[in-house]
């Protein structure tokens, strides 16, 4: 964003889970460039600080957004732990008194292999992060949006939640569940003027998991997902994009 471009999210507060790297870092940086006060949420402070440093650099490129960027905050939080999420929500309410955008991005892939060989603890870890964690954040943060009668909730899912994924059945199931949660939640919160969207990207070039045999230059990039999120949160108020399926132009 150039210094002369507007900052449509000025004055808004955005929280992104899993903001320390990959998609989460790209989404947070993009929202900051659009003028939002950003809250970086994740388990590892060192990675969150790297994202915060990248966001601070935007102020030299877009001075009009500098007042928002300087309010970037870091909150260490494990979305799979209800107490941790509730503590985070209290900090958001205490510090900002509002939340306009929630991006549920934190997720894990888990080990690859046949479902019947997957250890039960790996199943629990996948679902506790990818699905239960989203429930925890919505349970804790949606009341701030309901109070304001406004907001965006964006859940980062996967095309694996639309198509079968052999040797990744648990991950695929968690994303199918996330999609179903998103559709139902969208209907529940429409009366409160809260728009719920789900973004389902294909394979994204990150350190999230291996992509053996795929050409990285053809894969989706984290910035592609951030672009989709930006489109959602800057759309006209009379409509909302309930679902975005994001694919690379060429198969990797």
139: containing domain: 13-246
pTM of the model: 0.91
Domain count, the chain: 1
Position 155 scores a pLDDT of 98
Q: pLDDT tens digits for 210-224?
A: 555 566 777 899 999
Dist CA 68 CA 34 (whole Å): 9
Query: For residue 87, what pLDDT band results from cuts at 50, 70 and 90?
Result: very high
pLDDT tens-digit series, residues 28-38: 999 999 999 99
Q: Which residues are catalytic?
A: 171
CATH classification of the domain holding 152: 3.40.50.720
Q: Mean of the pLDDT values across residues 133-153? A: 98
Domain contains 3: no
> What's residue 58's pLDDT?
74
Residue 206 pLDDT > 90, yes or no? no
């Amino acid at each position: 964003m150039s210094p002369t471009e507007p900052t449509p999210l000025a004055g808004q507060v955005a929280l992104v889970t899993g903001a320390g790297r990959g998609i989460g870092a790209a989404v947070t940086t993009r929202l900051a460039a659009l003028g939002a006060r950003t809250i970086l949420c994740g388990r590892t402070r060192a990675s969150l600080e790297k994202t915060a440093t990248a966001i601070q650099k935007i102020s030299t490129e877009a001075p009009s957004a500098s007042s928002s960027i300087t309010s970037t905050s870091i909150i260490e939080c494990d979305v799979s732990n209800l107490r941790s999420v509730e503590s985070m929500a209290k900090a958001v309410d205490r510090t900002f008194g509002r939340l306009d955008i929630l991006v549920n991005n934190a997720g894990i892939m888990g080990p690859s292999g046949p479902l019947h060989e997957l250890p039960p603890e790996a199943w629990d870890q996948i679902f506790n992060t990818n699905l239960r964690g989203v429930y925890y954040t919505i349970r804790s943060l949606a009341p701030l949006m309901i109070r304001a009668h406004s907001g965006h909730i964006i859940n980062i899912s996967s095309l694996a939640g639309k198509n079968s994924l052999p040797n990744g059945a648990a991950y695929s199931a968690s994303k199918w569940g996330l999609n179903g949660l998103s559709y139902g939640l969208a209907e529940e919160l429409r009366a409160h003027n809260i728009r719920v969207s789900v973004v389902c990207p294909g394979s994204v070039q990150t350190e999230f998991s291996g992509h053996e045999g795929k050409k990285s230059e053809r894969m989706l990039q984290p910035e592609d997902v951030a672009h989709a999120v930006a489109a959602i949160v800057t759309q006209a108020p009379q409509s909302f994009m309930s679902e975005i399926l994001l694919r690379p132009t060429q198969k990797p």
